[in-house]
Each structure stands twice: as C-alpha cells, then as structure tokens.
Chains A and B, each alone.
Chain A
Amino acid sequence: MEIMLVSMLSLILFVIGLYGIMTSNVGIKMLISLEIIINSAILNLVAVAVAYSSVDPIILALFGIAIGAVESVVGLSILTATYKKVGKIAISLLKEIRW
C-alpha cells in the first residue's frame, strides 16, 4: 500500500526534525527542524487525502501550512528578542530558571 510508504516517510521526517530540535543549540536550526516536523505532518495529511480521495485532509493541510508560517514568524521574533537580550541565539545561554 502506498499510503503506508508515505506514512513511513513522513514519520522518518518527523523523527529527523525531533532529533534536530533536541540536539541543536542554535535557535535558527531549531526553527528549521520545527518546519520539518510540521511539514512531515502535512505530507501525511496530503497522502491520506489522495489515498481516500477526500478534500477534508487537504483543507486541514492548508490551514496547517498557514499555522506553520505564523509559528515561524512568532518563533523568529522571539529569537530576535533573545538576540537583543543575550547577544547570541544560542539557547543554552538561557539557563536562569532553576529549581
């Protein structure tokens, strides 16, 4: 079944993105990994839409693309604020919250 293959591909992309977020220290790299994660979910939605010949998942995919774009805008602005405060976009420099 093709849908299984596409689902496998998108799951692999998902894991790659998660790995990128967990290991990287640079904010921009984390944002790109985030885009990979969201796009892998969108890929899966489109595959489902094609396999079941329905438009509903495509509608959700379109909204997912829009929301992904908004999220990267918000993320970039948060990282800009980080740069202004810290001088670098290294996430590991932010370590003031302790228990």
Chain B
Amino acid sequence: MTAPNLLAGPQILLSFTPEIFLGLVGFVILALGVFRIQKQVMAWVTFGSLGISAILVYLMSPVDHSVFQGTFTYTYFGIYFAVVMILSGMLISYPATRAIRSRSEVFYATLLFVTVGMIFAAFSYNIITLFIAFESVSIGTYILASFGKTRRSLEGTIKYFFTGTIATAFILFGASFFFIDTGTFNLSVLPSASPTPELVLALTFLVIGFGFKLAIFPMHQWAIDTYDGTENSISAYLAAGSKVLAFLVVLKIFLVGFSSDFRDVGYLFVILSILTMTYGNVSALSQNNLKRLLAYSSVAQAGYLILVLAVVALVGNPSSPVVGVAVAAGMFYSLVYIFMKGGSFITLNTVKKDNVLVSDVSGLAKKSPSVAVSFSILLLALAGIPITGGFFAKYLLFLSLVEGNLWWLAVIAILNSAISVFYYFRVILYMFGKEASSSEPFDLSAFARVPVYASALITVALSVVVVWWPNLIGFAGGLFG
C-alpha cells in the first residue's frame, strides 16, 4: 500500500495505449463494414486485436504509478483482471459468427468498445470513472444481446435492458449518498468510523445496483431469462466477461470504498452468498432446459465469488495475509470461471436447436466422443472435481475461508458444491448413456468443436498454473491501490 507515483505529460497518453488502440480498431472495423467483408474475417481481426491489446496492457501499463490524482492506478491486480476480461472477449469472438445474421461490423466494433470499458474499469479507482466504464460495458452488452435470430433473444434483451437500466439508477443514487458520507468519489482505504445513515443508504443502493449485474440472489431473475433467450456465445459473454467485471467493480467499491466499516458489509455478503449459492444450486436441480441449468449454475458461481468479499470484510484488516489469500483466490476463480462457464455455453453451439434441453445432448458421446469428453471436463470443472482448474479455484477459495476462521461458511459452500455435482452429472449421463433422439441433432463442424476443445484444454491446463499461486497473492495487494 505504498503511495503510487503520479505520471505527467505524454506518459499519461502512453498509459492509455491499449484503450486507444482498441477504440481505433473498432472504428476501422465499423468503416470496413462498407466493403461487405465476411463475418469470419471480422472475427479474426477482432480476435487478433484483442490479443494485441492484452499484450499492450501488460507492456504499456506503468505499474505502481497513477494518473489524474489516483483516478487510474496501475497495479498488477488491474492488469490481471484486464487480461482476464480481454480473454473472455477472445473466447467468444469466433463462435459468435453463428449468432450474426447481418451487420457483423456493428457486433465486432461493439465487442471492442465493450472491452475498452472493461480495461478502464480494471484500473480506475474513482466512482465516476468506474460508473462510466461499467455503463459503457452495460450499454454495449445490451446491443450484443440483441444480435439474435429469434423472438426469444429479443425477449431476453428487453428483460436485460430494463433491469440493467434500473440498476444504473440505483448505482447513481448510491453514489450520491456515498458522496454525502465521504465527501469524495475517490476510492481509498479510510480510517475506521462509525457508520452513518447515509452510508447505510449508499450501501443498500450500491448492493442492489451491482447485485443486478452480478445476478446475486434477489436480483437474479433477469439473468436466467436473458442467458436462456440470447444466442449461446452471447450468453457466454454475459455470464463470463460481464460477470467478472461486476465482481471486480464490487471488490473495488465495497472493499476499498467501504473499508471504514468492513464488518457490517461482511455479514451482508455472508447472507447474500449463502442465499445465492443455495438458490442457484437447488433451482438447477429441477431444470430440464440445459441453458437454464447453466444459467442457474452461474448464479450459484456468483455466490462463490461473493465469498471473497465476505471473508475479506470479516477479517477486517486489509494488510492481514488472509486477505491476500482470499483476493488471490477470487482472482484465480474468475480466470478459471471464464473458461469453464464460457466454454460450456459455447458447447451448446454443437446442438442445432435454439432451445437446448438436457435430453438434446443425449447420444453426443456416440457422435463425437471428443466433444462429449471436453464438455464433461467443463462441467466437472464447474462442479469442482479434481484434475481441472475448477477444483483448485474452489479449493483455494475454501482454504481462504478456513484461514479466515469462517469454517462454517466453508462447510456450507462445500455442501453446495456437493449438491451441484448431481445436476452436472445428470447432463454427463445423458451424453454418455442415452441414444440420440433425432437423426441429425448435432452440428459437428470444426467451427463448433474447436472452441470447446480449446476451453476444455485451458481449463485443465489452469490447474498447472497454480504453481504461480505465490505471485497471485503478491498481485492481490494491488486491490488496495
């Protein structure tokens, strides 16, 4: 928590290189739309420029420096999350070609602009810039969600749009009450103070506002319908990239901004995470619609992510080692989460139907064993079974709970992942045990298969990345600026 150095002059412009680059490429893609270029070419251009921007984020970010009086603070924590969110965009950029009928340039330019917002959000430590970055991502994803062929996707988009904009108003309200209490929009670790009524109001409004985007328990219903209605790759982006962004913003606002009354925030998040986990897992048990099953499971995953906030807030002291472990667990979890959740939504591209039921994947193992095995790996990772990255993510998360002396919360979380094993295994049983219902139910072109293989491979490979765990703990301190 050293005071970051301020940058001046042209160095400020250089630190924004990835954002400027992505914005320029976005406009170029929009202009290219005039020439009716194939959507596959657009997809590869987007993929490549996102990859370049990930490298630029790593190379051009002046670590441990800040610009504009600490509004943007560059830390390895921010770089990590920026790269994770760029990866989620890269994951869907090619599979999304299935969702696009016309005007592919609008889709890919919007995807790039959304990523610009995500990179800004990763580094900003001020409610004004966080709000703008968050909203640019939200508005972009409303447009992305509307790229679909059916009435269902339109319905999902309308539900997403109206709940999202109500959440915006809640966030604005919460920000104004936050200002009444603290007198600033800058997020920095404050000395302890007794909570005032304004701060409680701010807390309530901000939890509701960001809870909508994170899809935690009382504010989750839009997510189920939207993930169900929109195209598979866009559901993957909403469930992976957009949710990780919401998690990052929530970490910053509630752990850095509300640091003065850590404990009260902690109890709130304990309750929310228990409700979210249990509700998501129990509702997924009775689902016959595979997309809704995955949507409910992503609600449950949001519950696991909030455990990080609960343990950090209840431990209280930002410099204690448990906080580092918990935040690092959250960082690792969100990296694995992008591939296991995004990958399993993208796997549904192999089924030709729009409305995928659990019985629609039956017989997949006969037609294409490799896709079935990859999908099983992704589902096992979501359930937290060993040899996948998902196991280590859950293990580290629960380890931080135990270290923070919250073993009872760890027990509840483990019971929840035990429940989740049932419905993931039901899908696997359908794939391997049953015969296909119709003659040509699957689309097994390379276009549908390769993203599935890639995400399954990365999910397994991430369990090796765990050897860099001490580095992650080192990065985690960057959360507090």
Residues of A within 8 A of B (CB): 3, 10, 14, 17-18, 21, 27, 30, 34, 37-38, 40-42, 44-45, 47-48, 52, 54, 56-57, 59-60, 63-64, 67-68, 70-71, 74-75, 77-79, 81-82, 85-86, 91, 94-97, 99
Contacts and interface: CB of A to CB of B under 8 A. Distances in A.
Nearest to A36: B169
Interface residues of B, number: 40
Nearest to B296: A99
Question: For B128, B150, B224, which residue has the most chain A Cβ atoms within 10 angstroms?
Answer: B128
Given A74-B161, A82-B154, A97-B152, A37 B184 contact: no
B435 interface: no
Nearest to B283: A99
Interface string B135-153: 1000100110010001110
B323 to A, nearest CB: 29
20 contacts: A14-B173, A18-B166, A34-B165, A37-B169, A38-B168, A41-B170, A42-B172, A44-B173, A48-B179, A52-B179, A60-B175, A63-B128, A63-B132, A67-B132, A74-B139, A74-B142, A81-B146, A96-B150, A96-B152, A99-B289
B225 A78 contact: no
A91 B158 contact: yes
Going nearest first, the 10 A-B pairs with the smallest beta carbon separation are A41-B172, A94-B155, A37-B169, A45-B176, A44-B176, A41-B173, A67-B135, A41-B169, A48-B176, A97-B225
Interface of B: 127-128, 131-132, 135, 139, 142-143, 146, 150-152, 154-158, 161-162, 165-166, 168-170, 172-173, 175-176, 179-180, 183-185, 224-225, 228-229, 287, 289, 292
A67 B180 CA distance: 22
B183 A54 contact: yes
Contacts, number: 117
A34 B224 CA distance: 22
A85 B154 contact: yes
B154 A70 contact: no
Contacts of A79: 158
Contact of A63 (B131, B150, B155): B131
Nearest to A48: B176
A96 B155 contact: yes
Contact of B151 (A34, A78, A85): A85
B153 to A, nearest CB: 10
B180 A52 contact: yes
A57 B154 contact: no
A60 to B, nearest CB: 5
Contacts of B185: 56-57, 60
Contacts of A30: 162
Contact of A64 (B150, B172, B287): B172
A78 to B, nearest CB: 6
A85 B128 CA distance: 38
Contacts of A54: 179, 183
A14 B128 contact: no
A70 B117 CA distance: 15
Nearest to A86: B151
Among B139, B150, B162, residue most surrounded by chain A Cβ atoms (within 10 Å): B162
A14 B184 CA distance: 24
Given A60-B175, A63-B128, A97 B154 contact: no
A17 B135 CA distance: 20
A38 B209 CA distance: 13
A89 to B, nearest CB: 10
A30 B156 CA distance: 16
B169 A56 contact: no
A26 B246 CA distance: 30
Contacts of B180: 3, 48, 52
A97 B156 contact: yes
A75 B127 contact: no
Nearest to B129: A63
A38 B165 contact: yes
